[in-house]
Amino acid sequence: MDLLHVSAGIESPDVPLPQPPQNFPFNWIVYCGTEIKKNVSIPVIVVNGIRTSSQAALIIENRLADFVAVGRGHLVDPEWTNKAINKIEAVPCLECKPCKWFKNGDLCPRHSI
């Protein structure tokens, strides 16, 4: 195994979710990835709820993970990575519930900005 990509599937009300410490700035999925990172010697990728390049940088700079995966950010703003490289914040995801992009990309409210 060359690396671990830590994510989650469908949540179930019957399965309790891990609770990160109150001072942890990300959700439980990212928290689980950071805990796994402490115990393995291969690169770890975290994902879920990482919406800004500032959040991604915080994870990498503090060595909480080796990589971050950003999905919705790229769906909303295809220039997300280029903007992050240049320290420019990309157009943020509005976190619609459910995500309108997945039903029809043209329905994403950020595509009209």
Q: Is the pLDDT of residue 113 over 60?
A: no
Could you tell me the pTM of the whole model? Answer: 0.83
Query: What percent of the chain shows pLDDT beyond 90?
Result: 58
pLDDT band at 112 (very low <50, low <70, confident <90, very high): low
Of 56, 2, 46, 42, the residue nearest 20 (C-alpha): 46
What average pLDDT does range 59-75 have in this prediction? 94
Closest of 10, 63, 2, 73 to residue 34, by C-alpha: 63
Average confidence (pLDDT) over 27-33 = 95
**Is the per-residue pLDDT at 12 higher than 90?**
no
Structural domain including 33 reads 4-112
Tokens 């999905």 locate to: 71
Give the mean model confidence (pLDDT) for residues 34-60: 95
The arithmetic mean of pLDDT across residues 47-66, rounded, is 94
Domain count, the chain: 1
Q: Which two tokens stand for residue 46?
A: 């975290």
Please name which of 52, 3, 5 lies closest in space to residue 26, comparing C-alpha atoms: 52
